[in-house]
Structure 1
Amino acid sequence: MDDFWKPLEITPDGSAATPEGLMERLRGLNLGDLLVREKALVFRGFGVTPETLDPVMDLLLPNRLAYVHGNSPRTKVGGNVYTSTEYPPEYTISMHNELSYSATWPSRLLFYCEKAAATGGATPVVDGVRWLESLDDEVREAFAKGVRYTQNLHAGRGLGKSWQETFETEDRDEVAGFLDRIGADWQWRPDGGVRISQIRPATTRHPVTGTEVWFNQADQWHPASLGDEAAAMLAELMPPEELPQSVTFPDGAPIPGEYVIQVRDRGLDNAVDVDWRNGDLLLIDNVLVGHGRRPFTGSRRILVAMSD
């Protein structure tokens, strides 16, 4: 495996340094093959603005998807275009593949930098093969049977996201149909919320290359990733099974905190930072590459969209 993997950077390089120049370049590429080979692509220097973003997105993401069943806080700003995860700027967002806890996930993610942070704010990306191979044998073996994710989505008041936000609907039948289609165990709660449980694999194979990659969000769903103080505070408030989201091994056995900390830290340690400039775009293969966020200062606005 290439020890120096990083996203391929595509610049005007003779073509017009305009959104139209970028679209012309894109029409001349076999984008699907290029993305599988390079895993992530950065488009820089084409002067893409919010007003010129849509036609560029149409070429990069032929079928934009809604962020249905997403667990992170975002704001919808256009036709299946969202703000990136709205966590406080001082926090690192650890590496993950979008919707890897669900039965279906997007194959591509596109990030657009409308406004770069004053300092920091890079989007780190990690090769999923390297991430898997970086883990101790003990950890890989422990996760071999997969993980069980549990969500408690309230009906409008409570910790975390509501089911209405999560599924972008007020229709309980629509939610029930979605959960049945993905094979989840679920039930409506007396307070109007819904409890969802799914067993998912810890790794997956890329549909084109067959490459096995680390592909789960156990570290983000585990209280150990919050730090000892925050985890202890949550434990006082409610038992693990009542948290907005939690994770165990498939049989319900707890996942040791040190395992998820190793997963989190080695993902970040093996990541390559994509530093943003206004107008940049980053396209990633969501199976081959995990992504996250470095802390930042000042205002930062990164938009994200996804496709199958």
Structure 2
Amino acid sequence: MTIQIDSLETSTKKIIYSNECKEILNLSVAKIQEMFKSSGIILFRGFEVTHELMQVFAEQFSSRFTRDDDKPLVDPNGFVSSVDIGMHEILPHRENGSSPFSPDAVWFCCTIPAAQGGETLFWDGIQVWQKFSEELKELFISKKIKFVHKFPADKWKHFLGSDATISDAKQVLDGFNSVKYQIDEEESIYTEYICSAVIQTKYSNQNAFVNDIITGNSNLKGCANLELESALTFEDGSLIPDVVIEKIEKVMYSLTEEIQWQAGDLVMIDNSRFLHGRRAFNDSRRRLFALLSYLNF
């Protein structure tokens, strides 16, 4: 079976069309795995994918799924979530990148695109890192970053399962050398997660600037007068200077790419290589769904 494949813009990302193979479940799993390893993003177009079909398709590539701690689930006992909370711009981020529970892959499917706007944006962390100045590279090689979070019980159970206990949470957190934590009387967990802003990609073992620095910095500025339940600093507790944030943004926004959604589209994103975000839109009909998974290849 011949698969029609096009590149997305000028990057390594690929589009698979349904010209000869109308059923997405009939596509070669092995071919998709190899393509994903090299490209990091695959857009499947013309297969009329629904959120139910997205999960069935993703199961072929996944060892397990995890839940998003911010977005409402379509099924309270499932893993697919709606991403149409608000219509605002979403800044570049790695999914769950401010915690040790970052999935391998992010899946999105669109059943109704916005009439205008609402494109999903993405940035290749390998390209971002390569375009950094030597000074900026040295800064993030020499200094790790620290995320401080409060996770109420209903939030950390999104990661560990609705039946998880505090003992389960302790066992999982004790397995991370990068995490310090405290638990209060209401079973909220306060974590300090220390990580590098530049990570090794899952498949090519290349340096990639993939993290939550831009969104974390923006959230702190937006909550300056509120009681914070999260914080972002360098490992030593010092703030990341505004001039550094500006240099990061200048490089990143010069490399922005986008997915202009069509109904039935499905996209598979390597969360160890790419950051993603969204353009603002003004169309309450838009329907986009997400699924997070750990891959089995």
TM-score norm. by structure 1 comes to: 0.81
1:269 aligns with 2:243: no
Tell whether the 8 Å contact from 1:64 to 1:305 is kept in structure 2 after alignment: no
Displacement of 1:254 in angstroms is: 1.3
Within-5 A mapping of 1:105-120: 105-120=102-117
Tell whether the 8 Å contact from 1:83 to 1:302 is kept in structure 2 after alignment: yes
Aligned to 2:283: 298
**Aligned AA (2:265):** D
Aligned to 2:4: none
Within-5 A mapping of 1:226-305: 226=219, 231=221, 234-238=223-227, 243-299=228-284, 300-305=286-291
Residues in 2 aligned to 1:207 and 1:187: alpha-carbon distance in whole angstroms? 30
TM-score norm. by structure 2 comes to: 0.83
SS state at 1:55 partner: helix
**Identity level (%):** 23
Task: Work out the number of aligned pairs and report it.
Answer: 281
Aligned to 1:94: 91
**Aligned partner of 1:194 among 174, 189, 192:** 189
Aligned to 1:139: 136
**Aligned partner of 2:198 among 179, 199, 203:** 203
- Structure 2, unpaired ranges of 5+: 1-7
Q: Name the Cα RMSD after superposition.
A: 2.6
Aligned to 2:65: 65
Aligned to 2:81: 82
Cα distance change of structure 1 residues 88 and 136 upon mapping to structure 2, 3 Å threshold: farther
Once the two structures are superposed, what CA deviation does each residue of 1:191-232 show, in whole Å capped at 9, x if it has no partner? 65321101111111123312110022122222xx25xxx83x
SS state at 2:268 partner: strand
Within-5 A mapping of 1:35-54: 35-50=36-51, 52-54=53-55
Aligned to 1:159: none
SS state at 1:260 partner: helix
Residues in 2 aligned to 1:49 and 1:235: alpha-carbon distance in whole angstroms? 40
Tell whether the 8 Å contact from 1:97 to 1:216 is kept in structure 2 after alignment: yes
Residues in 1 aligned to 2:243 and 2:175: alpha-carbon distance in whole angstroms? 34
Once the two structures are superposed, what CA deviation does each residue of 1:246-289 show, in whole Å capped at 9, x if it has no partner? 11111111111232243245324312110111110001122122
- Structure 1, unpaired ranges of 5+: 157-161
Tell whether the 8 Å contact from 1:143 to 1:249 is kept in structure 2 after alignment: no
Residues in 2 aligned to 1:51 and 1:202: alpha-carbon distance in whole angstroms? 34
Once the two structures are superposed, what CA deviation does each residue of 1:30-68 show, in whole Å capped at 9, x if it has no partner? 222110112211110112234544432333x3334112x
Cα distance change of structure 1 residues 37 and 185 upon mapping to structure 2, 3 Å threshold: same
Once the two structures are superposed, what CA deviation does each residue of 1:93-122 show, in whole Å capped at 9, x if it has no partner? 122222333335322221111221121111
**Aligned partner of 2:167 among 156, 168, 173:** 173
1:182 aligns with 2:176: yes
Aligned to 1:121: 118
**Aligned AA (1:56):** F
Aligned to 2:5: none
Displacement of 1:177 in angstroms is: 2.1
**Aligned AA (1:141):** E
Cα distance change of structure 1 residues 304 and 265 upon mapping to structure 2, 3 Å threshold: farther
